[in-house]
Chain A
Amino acid sequence: MNRIDETFKKLRADNKKAFIPYVAAGDPDIKTTKKIVSVLAAAGADIVELGIPFSDPLADGPTIQKAIQRSLSAGCSVRKVLDMVKELRGKVGIPLVFMTYYNIIFNYGAGRFIKDAKACGADGVIVPDLPMEESGGLADIADKEDFYVIMLAAPTTPPARFRKIADRSRGFIYYVSLTGVTGARKALSAKLNSEVKELKKMTAKPVCVGFGISNPAQASGIASASDGVIVGSAIIKVIEKNLDDRSRMIAKVEAFAGSIARAIHGV
């Protein structure tokens, strides 16, 4: 069984929701990312999303753009991220999923990417610029390897299309909370929870919500309607603010992630 399914099975049995933090791998360097993933797991993350940097991240707002730029400037590469996950696997038991843009996978070779990602211990991938129409090749290969391609749905997705996306998605469905790019927002749509509840009626798979979620109160609010909450830019802001001191950075990330985890798990 894929680790992602195991995780949601256990969370459902405990009547809990998933906390899924995102960090850009290699920001500010691979060694620090490795430590950050360990403390995120210790702080209560149920799944960690690792961004593999791409030069032109068109679904990302300024915070993640800058993180990706720091990672690329420090010499990050696909190979280095895969090796990092391999090393992490000895210490971290929770599912690790990649988030990257399709050109990175296409350039690496879809079949080779999935084989190598699986071999190093990753459990799935999220590709924000690969809609259902273009995902066939990658998803078919991934299915054979029990590697999960997690699909995204958006507020603009009509119901009939959502059903197809849910059917195609593995592990969970990533619901984008707003029309826009990633980045912490002060307020989210008042209709968000009712939208998520409607979507959940159309699929048995977990629906997790990401984009814009910046604090524990927002996280617990969304956790009440969904199966999990994805937090990216808000964590990266903590990294960004502590670039001058790695040990302080790690302590602050752990504290912030802990506060979000408690908010989500307390729902």
Chain B
Amino acid sequence: MRRKPRLPDNRGYFGIFGGEYVPETLMPALKELTTAYKKIGRSAPFRKKLRYFLKEYAGRPTPLYFAGKLTEKLGGAKIYLKREDLLHTGAHKINNTIGQALLAVAMGKKRLVAETGAGQHGVATATVAALFDLKCDVYMGTEDIERQNLNVFRMKLMGARVIPVQSGSCTLKDATNEAIRDWVTNVRDTYYVLGSVVGPHPYPMMVREFQTVIGKEVRRDIIRREGKLPGYLVACVGGGSNSIGLFHPFFRDRKVAFIGVEAAGFGIKTGRHAAALMKGRVGVLHGSKSFLLEDDDGQVKLAHSISAGLDYPGVGPEHSYYKQTGRAEYVSVNDREALEGVKLLSRTEGIIPALETAHAVYYLKKLVKRTGKKDIIVLCLSGRGDKDIDIIKKHM
């Protein structure tokens, strides 16, 4: 028997965070999804099918690579990279979309709708839609369409429709609003593929369970290689799915420190950033209660980050719980530092990381200062940087 996760509770709460703050129209659909996920999504035949596609199609397991040159350069703990960037479509997002698409098929849904920021989730959704013969509409902010146009083309090439969103900040937050509005309208035949551990219950739980394959592989491989658990797990946090996927399987291992790296944009002090956990207050956005960047009157603030995937004013409720209970530490890295992170990993290891991931890479420079040579750090290399080449070129 699989061990049942302790969090969230039956109502979708992680402590005071989470819940289901959505229009009534969606409530029956969320209940249907929760039931289907628990009954079908956790069943042995479903998990077998999921494992098949993750292995044969997406390329799991991914390597846990010892980054010897980076370790040497930074001169502290041994650094391992969990190579999610080597997955099909170039990021961890595919772990979740294969799972959700299989569930959508099992539920008899014919159409997928998704939001996307950097386009990685959009591409991963378009990919599974092509694979499983589903219609696919992806909402994307016009600013993101411009800065991630390679991914826009990839989605279209695979037969998805990319719907531009021109409200608010024209980024991920607004794309999510539109995707939810679409779902409210077409709820009877449409499956909403949420891309991160955000949104109403059961999404934060379900997306986490599809992403924990990252942490489970890390645990198995690091014990084989080093005979012990790592001291530090590091990952970037926008909505927070690659980080939760890495962290969660180590939740009970209190000696394993979790470090989530948020985007500081132009700098925390400028107020123009995306560091919801470091600088936000508790609020309700996109269906759940969590830390949120908002003004005194409760209006959601615009987030700022060079990386479209982290450019979001909210964060998953489980991260808020980790923050509140002290289970994880959250830090931030600004745009300029993230670009340095890209250069650092490209030059030392010949790996060009996504701008999102580069935030976590840069933080290693600070983290190694408080570690010794016997310590082990595992960084989730959540995505590859091809999509960001134009932005990187502009800034170098």
Least Cβ distance of A182 to chain B in Å?
A: 10
Residue from the set B26, B188, B284 with the largest chain A CB neighbour count within 10 Å: B284
Verify B298–A104 contact, CB threshold 8 A.
yes
Q: Of the candidates A65, A104, A106, A155, which one forms a contact with B25 in the assembled complex, judged by CB atoms under 8 Å apart?
A: A155
A134 at interface (Cβ–Cβ under 8 A)?
Answer: yes
Verify A130–B21 contact, CB threshold 8 A.
yes
Verify A157–B24 contact, CB threshold 8 A.
yes
Chain A, 42-64, CB within 8 A of any chain B CB? 53-56, 58-59, 61
Tell me which residues across on chain B come within 8 A of A61, comparing CB atoms: 181
Q: Which residue of B lies closest to A79 (CB)?
A: B297
Verify A181–B284 contact, CB threshold 8 A.
no
Verify A106–B283 contact, CB threshold 8 A.
yes
Q: Which residue of A lies closest to B298 (CB)?
A: A107
**Contacts known (A72-B299, A133-B11); A59 close to B27, Cβ less than 8 A:** no
B184 at interface (Cβ–Cβ under 8 A)?
Answer: yes
Verify A77–B24 contact, CB threshold 8 A.
no
B326 at interface (Cβ–Cβ under 8 A)?
Answer: no
User: What 0/1 pattern do residues 75 to 102 of A give for CB contact below 8 A with B?
Assistant: 0011000000000000000000000011
Q: Which residue of A lies closest to B282 (CB)?
A: A106
Tell me which residues across on chain A come within 8 A of B23, comparing CB atoms: 58-59, 128-129, 131, 152, 154, 176
Measured between alpha carbons, how far is A132 from B30 in the docked complex, in Å? 13
B168 at interface (Cβ–Cβ under 8 A)?
Answer: yes
Given contacts A151-B24, A157-B24, 11 further A-B contacts (CB under 8 A): A56-B168, A59-B23, A103-B284, A103-B298, A130-B21, A131-B21, A132-B24, A157-B27, A161-B27, A180-B184, A181-B181
Measured between alpha carbons, how far is A248 from B173 in the docked complex, in Å? 37
B35 at interface (Cβ–Cβ under 8 A)?
Answer: no
Chain A, 122-161, CB within 8 A of any chain B CB? 128-134, 151-158, 161
Verify A56–B20 contact, CB threshold 8 A.
no
Least Cβ distance of B194 to chain A in Å?
A: 13
- What are the 10 A-B residue pairs with the smallest beta carbon separation, nearest first? A107-B298, A154-B25, A180-B185, A55-B299, A103-B284, A154-B24, A55-B300, A104-B298, A152-B24, A156-B28
Q: Which residue of A lies closest to B11 (CB)?
A: A133
Verify B294–A65 contact, CB threshold 8 A.
no
Verify B298–A129 contact, CB threshold 8 A.
no
Q: Which residue of A lies closest to B30 (CB)?
A: A131
**Contacts known (A129-B22, A156-B25, A157-B28); A179 close to B186, Cβ less than 8 A:** yes
User: Chain A residues in contact with chain B, CB under 8 A?
Assistant: 53-56, 58-59, 61, 65, 72, 77-78, 101-104, 106-108, 128-134, 151-158, 161, 165, 176, 179-181
Least Cβ distance of A36 to chain B in Å?
A: 22
B346 at interface (Cβ–Cβ under 8 A)?
Answer: no
Chain B, 1-50, CB within 8 A of any chain A CB? 11, 19-29
Verify B19–A181 contact, CB threshold 8 A.
no
The 22 listed contacts between A and B (C-beta, < 8 Å) are A54-B298, A54-B299, A55-B299, A56-B286, A56-B300, A58-B23, A106-B282, A106-B283, A107-B281, A107-B283, A128-B23, A132-B24, A134-B19, A153-B24, A156-B28, A157-B28, A176-B25, A179-B25, A179-B184, A180-B181, A181-B181, A181-B184
Verify A103–B184 contact, CB threshold 8 A.
no
Verify B181–A58 contact, CB threshold 8 A.
yes
User: What 0/1 pattern do residues 291 to 331 of B give for CB contact below 8 A with A?
Assistant: 01010011110000000000000000000000000000000
Verify A56–B22 contact, CB threshold 8 A.
no
B285 at interface (Cβ–Cβ under 8 A)?
Answer: yes
Tell me which residues across on chain B come within 8 A of A129, comparing CB atoms: 21-23, 284, 287
Measured between alpha carbons, how far is A181 from B184 in the docked complex, in Å? 7
B177 at interface (Cβ–Cβ under 8 A)?
Answer: yes
Verify A56–B173 contact, CB threshold 8 A.
yes
Q: Of the candidates B24, B181, B300, which one forms a contact with A176 in the assembled complex, judged by CB atoms under 8 Å apart?
A: B24
Tell me which residues across on chain A come within 8 A of B348, comparing CB atoms: none
Tell me which residues across on chain A come within 8 A of B20, comparing CB atoms: 131, 133-134
Measured between alpha carbons, how far is A56 from B285 in the docked complex, in Å? 8
Q: Which residue of B lies closest to A106 (CB)?
A: B284
Least Cβ distance of A74 to chain B in Å?
A: 13
Q: Of the candidates B21, B168, B184, B292, which one forms a contact with A134 in the assembled complex, judged by CB atoms under 8 Å apart?
A: B21
B101 at interface (Cβ–Cβ under 8 A)?
Answer: no
Tell me which residues across on chain B come within 8 A of A55, comparing CB atoms: 168, 299-300
Least Cβ distance of A153 to chain B in Å?
A: 6
Tell me which residues across on chain A come within 8 A of B300, comparing CB atoms: 55-56, 103
Tell me which residues across on chain B come within 8 A of A65, comparing CB atoms: 167
B180 at interface (Cβ–Cβ under 8 A)?
Answer: yes
Measured between alpha carbons, how far is A133 from B11 in the docked complex, in Å? 8
Tell me which residues across on chain A come within 8 A of B168, comparing CB atoms: 55-56
Tell me which residues across on chain A come within 8 A of B289, comparing CB atoms: 106
B187 at interface (Cβ–Cβ under 8 A)?
Answer: yes
Least Cβ distance of A203 to chain B in Å?
A: 15
Q: Of the candidates A78, A128, A176, which one forms a contact with B297 in the assembled complex, judged by CB atoms under 8 Å apart?
A: A78
Verify A103–B294 contact, CB threshold 8 A.
yes
**Contacts known (A129-B22, A176-B24, A176-B25); A58 close to B297, Cβ less than 8 A:** no
Q: Of the candidates A58, A131, A152, A179, which one forms a contact with B188 in the assembled complex, judged by CB atoms under 8 Å apart?
A: A179
Verify B180–A58 contact, CB threshold 8 A.
yes
Verify A106–B298 contact, CB threshold 8 A.
yes
Measured between alpha carbons, how far is A151 from B24 in the docked complex, in Å? 9
Q: Which residue of A lies closest to B23 (CB)?
A: A59
Verify B187–A131 contact, CB threshold 8 A.
no
Verify B177–A161 contact, CB threshold 8 A.
no
Residue from the set A59, A61, A129 with the largest chain B CB neighbour count within 10 Å: A129
Tell me which residues across on chain A come within 8 A of B24, comparing CB atoms: 128, 131-132, 151-154, 156-157, 165, 176
Verify B185–A179 contact, CB threshold 8 A.
yes
Least Cβ distance of A67 to chain B in Å?
A: 13
Residue from the set A108, A132, A176, A180 with the largest chain B CB neighbour count within 10 Å: A180
Measured between alpha carbons, how far is A138 from B178 in the docked complex, in Å? 27
